[in-house]
Structure 1
Amino acid sequence: MSVWRTLLRWETGYSADSVEWCPVKLYNNVLVCGTYQLDKMDEGQQNKKQTRLGRIYLFIINDDTKELIPAQSIDTAGILDQKWCHHTIGGYPVLGVVTSEGKIQLYKLHDSDGLQLKLWIEISIGQDVLALSLDWSSNKTSVEAPLIVVSDSAGHVKVFKLEGDSLKELCDQKSHGFEAWVAAFNYWDTNVFYSGGDDCIFKAYDLRVPDAIVSNRRHEAGVTAVRSDTETEHRLLTGSYDEKVRLWDARNLKCCITDENVNGGVWRLKWHPYNSVVLAACMYGGFRLLRVDKEISLIGEYLEHESIAYGADWKFERESSIVATCSFYDCKLHVSEIVLQ
C-alpha cells in the first residue's frame, strides 16, 4: 500500500467541500479551498429561504511552508465546485467557480502586488437553482475561447463559450429528473460532454446534435463524478453513491470495462497529472488511491479526516506526489505527501 503522510492541517471555519491546485506552470504552488455553510441566522424562521454562505481561500504553499495561512479570503455564496483553466487566458490563470445562488464566477489570478484573485465575470444560470459542478473543455489543449459546462440542482446541464469578457450560452439540456450532480468534458473531443444525476443516469452529449447520444442506467445510485483521462484517449471514470468507481471506454458507454467498490459514496475523482493513479473522495469512507489499468485496484487510503470526504486534488508536479484534501462538518483542510507503491 502507498504511504500517505500529512504535512499541513488547517481549520476552514465553514464546511469545506472543494480543493483545487493551480495547473498553470509558475503557479503550481497555488491552492484554493471552497467552503459552504447554511446561515445559522436563518434557523427557526419559518418559510424563510435558507441562505448558503461561502468563502474561497487562496493559499501559496512552497517546500518550506510550515503553516497554512491564507493569502486571501473571499466571501461569497456557498461554493459547490471550483476548477482552474489549465492554461492562461489573456495572460492570467483563471479560476471557475459555481455557487449556491446559481452563479458562474470567473476569477483572474493577478500577480502585480502579491497573488490575488479578482472577480472578472459573473453570470446567473437560473433562478432558485444551485449550480453544482463545472468543467473546462481545455484541460488537454489550450484554446483562445474555451467552453465551460455547468450542471444544476434542477437537472439542467448548460454549455457556455468564453468570448472576450463574456460567457455565451451554447446549449441547455434538461438532462435529469433530479439534481445533475456533475458535468464534464471529453478532453480529446470537446464537442462531447457528460452528465451524471441523482436519477442514477449517466449521459453523453455531442454539441453537434440536439439530444443525448447515450443514456446509461447501469449505476445503482446517483452519479456524482465523471472524469476524462488527459493522458489516455477514450479512458473515462465515473463515481456514484453506490460506492463504485467504474472504468469506461468512451467509444462504448453501454457497459463499463470494470468497476471497484471503494466502500464509500464517491464524490470526486482526480487522475494523477502524470500517471494512472486516481485520487477518490469517498464521502463517509474517507479518501482512496486507485491504480487504473485493465482493472481498478486499491493501493492506498487516508482516514485522518473525521467527516465527509468531499474535496481532493493533486499538485501539478512530477517530482513528488502532493495532495490536498478537505472534509465537510469538521471543517478540515490537509496537505499530504504520498509515496506511491
Structure 2
Amino acid sequence: MADPLKEPTILQIVDTRLCADSTEWCPTENKQNILLCGTYQLQEDEPAEAAGGGQVRIGKLQRYSLSGLLDDQPQLTLEEERDMHGILDIKWRHTVDDDHPAFALVDAVGQLQLWRLADDDSLVKVCSAQLGESCLGLSLDWSRQESPCSDIITSDSTGSLTLFKVGSDIVVADRWKAHDYEAWICAFNYWDGNVVYSGSDDCTFKGWDMRSNQRSPVFTNKRAEMGVCSIQSNPWKEHLLAVGSYDEHVYLYDTRSMRSPLSTASLGGGVWRVKWDPSCGEHLLTATMYNGFHIVDCSNTDTDPLPILAHYMTDIRLGYGADWCRLRPNSDTTGNSKDISAANKALVHSKNDSSKPVGVDTEIGDSNTRMDSHEVTTECDGVDILTKKTSACVGKQSDSSFIVATCSFYDHSLQLWRT
C-alpha cells in the first residue's frame, strides 16, 4: 500500500530574477551540494537583430551551493552566475571526473554548450556547437556509456535531433528530421546507448536505433492526446520508461512492448519534466506546469492509476524544472550523517570505490531527411572533459524523505523543499 500523501516542507524560495526553467543537482560524490539553475526570458521590447530577425531571449546560468544539512537547516547560496542566451535545458554528465564534473546545456540560439567545474567549483566553458540554423535548442540527454567518447542527443524547435560525440572535441555524428513540429524532448535508453527516444508537439513519441543507416523510427507511439514533452529511462530498472505529456498524464512503459503503457497517473497539469529518483528508481518526480510538482510512487507498475506521494503547489504558476538532491537531511556534503563517528567516516571514505557506476538523476515528418555533419559548425578550446572515473552508486533510501529543488517560470523562483 502506498504511503499517504505527504505535505512538502518548504525550506527556501530564491528569486532568480529571470524566468527559471531548468535546475539540476550535480551527481558526483563530494559535489552533490552543487545545484545549477538555468533561466530564460523573452525581451519583447528589444530589437530582434541577434537571431536573424527572431525574438531575443536572454538568460543566466546560476551555480548554488547547499549547506546546513548537518544542522537540519538546509540553505542555498548563489555562488556564481553567467549572462548568456536563454537556457532551455541543462544536464550533468552521468559518468564524470570526481574533480571536474561536466554538464551541457542548450540555448535559445540553437547552441549546445559544454561546461565543467574548476578546482574551486567555478564554471568553465569548454566547447560549443550549433544544432542548426534558426532553431531553439529544446532538450538534451547524455548516454551512460563508458568509452573514450560520450554521446549527447539534442532536440530542437525544427523537430530535428542531433547526435554529438564528445571527447577532446565535440563532433556532430548525425542530424535528422524526427518530427514536423517542435521536438520538445529527447532521451537515451540508459541500458542501450544505441537507442534514443523523442517526443513532439505532434502528439507522438518515437524510438530510434542509431545503428540504422536510414532514420526511420523503430516505433511511433500515438497514445498521448496532446504533445509529448518529457521522457526518461529508469537507470535502475532496465525496461522501464517514463513519458509525460501536455495531456496531464504520465505514462510508464515497458520498452519491450511499446503499444500501451503499464500504468498511468493523471496529475492535473502538463508533465514538462520527469526525473527518476537517484537511489532506487521507484519514485518519479514531475514538473507539472500549472499544477506544481508531484512525487509519484512507481514501485508497483501493475497499479493503475499510480499513487501520488507528494504534491507541492505553493505559489507556483508554471512548474518547469525539478530534480532530486542526492544528499539526505542530517548529512554533510559527502553524504555522511551526523551520527557517524570520525572513525566510521574514514572507513566509509576508504570504501568509496570511484569505479562504481553513478546514480543518474538522474520534453511526423519525412524521417529520411538528414543533414550532413559538415553543415553544423563547432568550436572548442581543446580541453578534454572525458574522464575514466565515475562516482559511487547511491544506495537505496532507507526512508521516503527527499530533498528536492524545483523552479517556477513566471514566478522567477527556485524552491528548495523536502518530503
Q: Same fold (TM over 0.5)?
A: yes
SS at match of 2:226: coil
Q: Of the candidates 387, 393, 406, which is equivalent to residue 325 of structure 1? A: 406
Q: Of the candidates 291, 298, 306, which is equivalent to residue 297 of structure 2? A: 291
Residue identity opposite 1:151 in structure 2 = S
How far off is 1:184 after superposition? 0.2
Q: Of the candidates 137, 143, 158, which is equivalent to residue 131 of structure 1? A: 137
Q: Of the candidates 89, 92, 100, which is equivalent to residue 92 of structure 1? A: 100
Give the fraction of aligned pairs with identical amino acids, expressed as a percent: 38
- Tell me the distance in 2 between the aligned counterparts of 1:249 and 1:67: 39
Residue identity opposite 1:181 in structure 2 = W
TM-score, structure 1 length as denominator?
Answer: 0.93
Matched, 1:189 2:225: no
TM-score, structure 2 length as denominator?
Answer: 0.76
Q: Residue 194 of structure 1 contacts residue 203 of structure 1 at CA under 8 Å; is this kept in 2?
A: yes
Matched, 1:261 2:266: yes
Q: Residue 71 of structure 1 contacts residue 115 of structure 1 at CA under 8 Å; is this kept in 2?
A: no
Corresponding residue number in structure 2 for 1:301:
311
- Tell me the distance in 2 between the aligned counterparts of 1:110 and 1:196: 34
Corresponding residue number in structure 1 for 2:287:
281
Residue identity opposite 1:31 in structure 2 = L
- Tell me the distance in 2 between the aligned counterparts of 1:143 and 1:305: 44
Residue identity opposite 1:179 in structure 2 = E
Q: Residue 55 of structure 1 contacts residue 77 of structure 1 at CA under 8 Å; is this kept in 2?
A: yes
How far off is 1:48 after superposition? 5.0
How far off is 1:173 after superposition? 2.2
Q: Residue 66 of structure 2 contacts residue 77 of structure 2 at CA under 8 Å; is this kept in 1?
A: no
How far off is 1:26 after superposition? 1.0
Deviates more, 1:1-10 or 1:238-247: 1-10
Q: Of the candidates 91, 110, 126, which is equivalent to residue 83 of structure 1? A: 91
Residue identity opposite 1:328 in structure 2 = F
Cα distance, 1:318–1:90 mapped onto 2, change above 3 Å = closer
Residue identity opposite 2:313 in structure 1 = L
Cα distance, 1:335–1:212 mapped onto 2, change above 3 Å = same
How far off is 1:145 after superposition? 1.5
Cα distance, 1:67–1:43 mapped onto 2, change above 3 Å = farther
- Tell me the distance in 1 between the aligned counterparts of 2:186 and 2:248: 19
Cα distance, 1:44–1:125 mapped onto 2, change above 3 Å = closer
- Tell me the distance in 2 between the aligned counterparts of 1:48 and 1:191: 37
Cα distance, 1:90–1:158 mapped onto 2, change above 3 Å = farther
Corresponding residue number in structure 1 for 2:173:
170
- Tell me the distance in 1 between the aligned counterparts of 2:246 and 2:55: 25
- Tell me the distance in 2 between the aligned counterparts of 1:151 and 1:239: 16
Corresponding residue number in structure 2 for 1:314:
324
- Tell me the distance in 2 between the aligned counterparts of 1:119 and 1:44: 26
Corresponding residue number in structure 1 for 2:376:
none
Deviations 1:269-314 (A, max 9, x none): 0111113011111100111110012222111100113310000000
Matched, 1:37 2:41: yes
Cα distance, 1:308–1:281 mapped onto 2, change above 3 Å = same
Cα distance, 1:330–1:150 mapped onto 2, change above 3 Å = same
Cα distance, 1:252–1:37 mapped onto 2, change above 3 Å = same
Corresponding residue number in structure 1 for 2:158:
154
Corresponding residue number in structure 1 for 2:243:
238
Residue identity opposite 2:205 in structure 1 = F
Cα distance, 1:66–1:236 mapped onto 2, change above 3 Å = closer
SS at match of 1:50: coil
Task: Give the number of the structure whose residues are more often strand, by fraction.
Answer: 1
Corresponding residue number in structure 2 for 1:8:
12
Structure 1 residue runs of 4 or more that deviate by more than 2 Å after TM superposition: 64-69, 141-144, 317-320
- Tell me the distance in 2 between the aligned counterparts of 1:316 and 1:147: 24
Structure 1 unaligned runs (5+)? Answer: none
Bigger relative contact order, structure 1 or 2 (CA pairs below 8 A, ≥6 apart): 2
Matched, 1:72 2:74: no
Residue identity opposite 2:220 in structure 1 = S
Residue identity opposite 1:163 in structure 2 = G
- Tell me the distance in 1 between the aligned counterparts of 2:252 and 2:84: 36
Q: Residue 194 of structure 2 contacts residue 210 of structure 2 at CA under 8 Å; is this kept in 1?
A: yes
- Tell me the distance in 1 between the aligned counterparts of 2:325 and 2:148: 25
How far off is 1:3 after superposition? 3.4
Deviations 1:239-259 (A, max 9, x none): 000001001001111211121
Cα distance, 1:316–1:66 mapped onto 2, change above 3 Å = closer
Q: Residue 305 of structure 1 contacts residue 332 of structure 1 at CA under 8 Å; is this kept in 2?
A: no
Corresponding residue number in structure 1 for 2:230:
225
- Tell me the distance in 2 between the aligned counterparts of 1:109 and 1:69: 17
RMSD: 1.8
Cα distance, 1:42–1:289 mapped onto 2, change above 3 Å = same
Q: Aligned residues, how many?
A: 332
How far off is 1:172 after superposition? 1.5
Corresponding residue number in structure 2 for 1:49:
54
